[in-house]
Amino acid sequence: MAGKVYLAGAGPGDPELMSIKVRNLLEIADTVMHDALIGEEITDTLPNICSGELINCGKRKGDHSYTQEDINDLLVEEASSGKMVVRLKGGDPFVFGRGGEEMSFLKRRGIEVEVVSGITSAIAAPAAAGIPLTQRKVASQVTLVTGHEDPTKEGSDVNWGDLAKINGTLVILMGITKLGPISEELMENGRSPSTPAATIEKATLREQRIVKGELKDIASRVEKAGIRPPGTTVMGEVVNAIPEFGSEEH
Ligand code: SAH
């Protein structure tokens, strides 16, 4: 009997934001392989939900951490032995989650794969801070970008100069430690220093914190507050779209 891999999204962190489909799959899967990014609250509930084997790919494996190659090989191994595997990723598996790469790897080896979407933190983190990504007359377009790379690095895949010139909302994932150079690059290329900005740390989790500011000071405010990954930053007029939500720092 052939096995199958479900590439599933766990949502941004709050266990109740996981879909019923994912939850049902977790209950019956032979093997669940999850990342650390799914957050502690979900990790803590997994042993109660899952009846099969639980593998934390965010943990160390023997003398080293799981590499992407280890994970790919393990997925193939488990599915090839006829098991039903849930590969559980933070947010949505196809938004900066390497879901695409894992799916190609499995498909090339003839393994059946089904993607089960999750709520991405790119949308849920701003939402948890009362920030709509689009709003009539405020923002009609959204750009999701990784802040993982140093914007001053040569050969960077992200063209911050171009992004500075695009209207609308900018959502930066994996950018907490690079927020300084990113803001600088955006301002140097023409984005207004007074562009509203907000960073949401550990959105939808109990420890969620929100820091608000403007493009010119968001990096220093985030640093001063001691914000740590995972955090998502939103830039654009939408940050102040719902003033009734309050602008206090948490
Ligand atoms: N596939 C994931 C994103 C993976 S990249 C998704 O769709 O959400 C990892 C980045 O996601 C983090 O660096 C951070 O920017 C963001 N992120 C994940 N969980 C988050 C959370 N609870 N709060 C804020 N940002 C989060």
CATH of the domain at 38: 3.40.1010.10
Per-residue pLDDT tens over the stretch 50-93: 999 999 998 777 777 899 999 999 999 999 999 999 999 999 99
What does the pLDDT read at residue 218? 98
Token pair of 131, please? 């920030």
Domain region containing 152: 121-240
Distance between CA atoms of residues 112 and 103, nearest Å: 9
What does the pLDDT read at residue 148? 87
* Residues 224, 151 share a domain: yes
Q: Are 191 and 164 in contact (CB under 8 A)?
A: yes
90 C-beta closer than 6 A to ligand 1: yes
Strands (E) in 10-128, as ranges, are 31-34, 53-56, 60-61, 64-65, 84-89, 112-116
Pairing assessment for the beta strands 64-65 and 169-173 based on DSSP bridges: unpaired
* Residues 19, 98 share a domain: yes
CA of 110 to the centre of ligand 1 (A): 30
**Contacts of 51-55 spanning 24+ positions with Cβ under 8 A:** 51/27, 52/28, 52/83, 52/84, 55/31
What does the pLDDT read at residue 37? 87
CA of 12 to the centre of ligand 1 (A): 7
What does the pLDDT read at residue 19? 98
* Residues 128, 89 share a domain: no
What does the pLDDT read at residue 246? 61
Does some domain include residue 103?
Answer: yes
Closest ligand 1 atom, CA of 200?
24
CATH of the domain at 152: 3.30.950.10
User: Which of 93, 116, 139 represents a domain boundary (last residue)?
Assistant: 116
* Residues 160, 102 share a domain: no
pLDDT band at 249 (very low <50, low <70, confident <90, very high): low
Which of 14, 17, 18, 37, when mutated, tests ligand 1's pocket best, judged by the most ligand atoms within 8 Å of its CB? 37
Domain count, the chain: 2
Please say if the pLDDT value at position 103 is more than 90. yes
Does some domain include residue 211?
Answer: yes
Report field, pTM of the whole predicted structure over 0.85: yes
Per-residue pLDDT tens over the stretch 108-139: 999 999 999 999 999 999 999 999 999 999 99
Does some domain include residue 169?
Answer: yes
Does some domain include residue 166?
Answer: yes
Distance between CA atoms of residues 231 and 174, nearest Å: 7
Q: Is 83 helix (H, G, I), strand (E, B) or coil?
A: coil
* Residues 88, 125 share a domain: no
* Residues 103, 187 share a domain: no
Q: Are 78 and 26 in contact (CB under 8 A)?
A: no
CA of 242 to the centre of ligand 1 (A): 23
* 169 vs 149, residue with greater confidence: 169
* Residues 146, 100 share a domain: no
* Residues 63, 100 share a domain: yes
Per-residue pLDDT tens over the stretch 19-47: 999 999 999 999 999 998 899 999 999 99
Does some domain include residue 54?
Answer: yes
Per-residue pLDDT tens over the stretch 170-217: 999 999 999 999 999 999 999 999 999 999 999 999 999 999 999 999
